[in-house]
């Protein structure tokens, strides 16, 4: 027997559609690093909206990560397959290239976790965020190590090669990487905001407090690098004055090498500052409620620093250039400089 409107020949009224609660992969959930929260009432860009659209910013970050990984993999291959590139200086360059390589892979992994992994996994999201934290921390520490190495090569020029042995440098690099890996494990060990979205920073799933600590630490490390750079300039100028008095050809060659090292170091630190300092300062004052475009527009130049690093420090090095020429065409151009490597080369 029919009851209600059907008994009177009337159609049943349409049932209200059940509202879907926010969950992993929905447009209302803030995405992984960098945070793409678009403010109240705004769907997160690339967060798996109704149409499944991919954010152009995420595509740009993924493409940058792919280029970063490929470029730094080339540097590592040259260093690995060239027996003559085993000095402590090249070990530090290799550490920086490895950090940038992992950073590029982390950007690609973050894109895959957000758009390709179904169903979404909190563990995968935390692992991708941890990889990015560890890689960029190692990149900063490697740049600091290169700065310290350049300072010691000028301050202790006579005893540099005897004191800075390969074993000592390997131990310091290993210790540095263990520290950076510990930083990368923090999100997996519970230092995240997945259970409390209001505590998220622009670097989801990193909390606002942890992001502030990371930003302040970065600024302090950069201040230390700048202080060392100023000391390097003072030592180089003092050497230049001594060279001007002696008027020796060998000293002039050393002065040329020193100027080239300073120029390269200036490019590294200047590029690093322009790429990272705006993003670090923004991390101190912003949170996940800020518009996504601000985060993306500052995160993209920061990641591009890993794309610029090999051009500055590796591909300008005469020994690496020579290895690249031999690997690519099996010959060395006649115009290639055969000047021996000195402690002032970066």
Question: CATH number of the domain that 206 lies in?
Answer: 1.20.1070.10
The tokens describing 234, both together, are 């003072």
CB of 245 within 8 A of CB of 252?
no
Q: Output the pLDDT for position 18.
A: 44
79, 181, 92, 104: which is closest to 142 by C-alpha? 92
Q: What is the DSSP letter of 36?
A: -
Angle between the N-to-C axes of helices 318-329 and 56-81, in degrees from 0 to 180, rounded to the nearest 10: 90
Residue whose entry in the numeric block shows the structure tokens 């490895």: 98
What is the rounded (10 degree) CA torsion for 329, 333, 338, 341?
-40
- Cα three-residue angle 311-227-216, rounded to 5 degrees: 85
Residue 21 in any domain: the answer is no
Note the pTM of the prediction, 2 decimals. 0.78
Residue 44 in any domain: the answer is no
Q: Output the pLDDT for position 158.
A: 72
pLDDT tens by residue, the chain, 346 residues: 445 544 444 444 454 444 443 433 343 344 445 544 433 333 333 333 334 588 999 999 999 999 999 999 999 999 998 888 888 889 999 999 999 999 999 999 999 999 998 888 889 999 999 999 999 999 999 999 988 888 888 888 777 777 677 888 899 999 999 999 999 999 999 889 988 888 889 988 899 999 999 999 999 999 999 898 888 888 877 766 676 666 555 555 555 666 666 676 677 778 888 999 999 999 999 888 899 899 999 999 999 999 998 988 788 788 888 888 777 776 676 666 555 454 444 4
> Cβ contacts of residue 168 below 8 Å, gap of 6+?
88
Residue 26 in any domain: the answer is no
The tokens describing 101, both together, are 């390589």
- Report how far residue 297's alpha carbon sits from residue 214's, in angstroms, rounded to the nearest whole number: 20
Residue 151 in any domain: the answer is yes
- Report how far residue 204's alpha carbon sits from residue 61's, in angstroms, rounded to the nearest whole number: 16
Residue 342 in any domain: the answer is no
Residue 191 in any domain: the answer is yes
Instruction: Count the Cβ atoms, other than its own, within 10 Å of residue 230.
Output: 10
Domain assignment of residue 91, given as a range: 56-329
Residue 261 in any domain: the answer is yes
Residue 32 in any domain: the answer is no
How many domains does one find in the chain? 1
- Report how far residue 252's alpha carbon sits from residue 244's, in angstroms, rounded to the nearest whole number: 8
């Amino acid at each position: 027997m029919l009851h209600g409107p059907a008994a009177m020949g009337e159609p049943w009224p349409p049932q209200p559609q059940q509202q879907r609660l926010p969950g992993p992969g929905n447009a209302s959930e803030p995405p992984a690093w960098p945070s793409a929260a678009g403010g109240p009432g705004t769907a997160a860009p690339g967060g798996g909206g109704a149409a499944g659209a991919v954010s152009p910013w995420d595509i740009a970050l993924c493409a940058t990560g792919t280029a970063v990984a490929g470029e730094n993999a080339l540097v590592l291959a040259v260093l690995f397959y060239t027996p003559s590139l085993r000095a402590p200086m090249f070990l530090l360059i290799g550490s920086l290239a490895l950090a940038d390589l992992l950073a590029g892979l982390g950007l690609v992994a973050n894109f895959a976790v957000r758009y390709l992994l179904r169903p979404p996994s909190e563990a995968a999201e935390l692992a991708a965020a941890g990889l990015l934290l560890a890689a960029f921390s190692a990149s900063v520490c490697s740049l600091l190590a290169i700065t310290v190495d350049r300072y010691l090569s000028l301050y202790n020029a006579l005893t540099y090669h005897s004191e800075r042995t390969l074993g000592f440098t390997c131990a310091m690099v290993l210790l540095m990487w263990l520290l950076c890996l510990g930083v990368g494990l923090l999100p997996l060990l519970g230092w995240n905001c997945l259970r409390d979205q209001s505590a998220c920073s622009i670097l989801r799933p990193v909390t606002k407090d942890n992001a502030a600590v990371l930003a302040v630490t970065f600024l302090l490390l950069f201040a230390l690098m700048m202080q060392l750079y100023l000391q390097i300039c003072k030592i180089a100028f003092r050497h230049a004055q001594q060279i001007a008095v002696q008027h020796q050809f060998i000293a002039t060659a050393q002065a040329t090498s020193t100027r080239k090292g300073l120029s390269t170091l200036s490019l590294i630190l200047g590029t690093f500052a322009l790429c990272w300092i705006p993003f670090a300062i923004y991390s101190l004052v912003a949170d996940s409620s800020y518009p996504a475009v601000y985060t993306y527009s500052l995160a993209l130049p920061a990641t591009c620093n890993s794309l610029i690093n090999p051009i500055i420090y590796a591909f300008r090095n005469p020994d690496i250039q020579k290895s690249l020429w031999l690997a690519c065409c099996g010959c060395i151009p006649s115009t290639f400089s055969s000047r021996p490597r000195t402690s002032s080369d970066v």
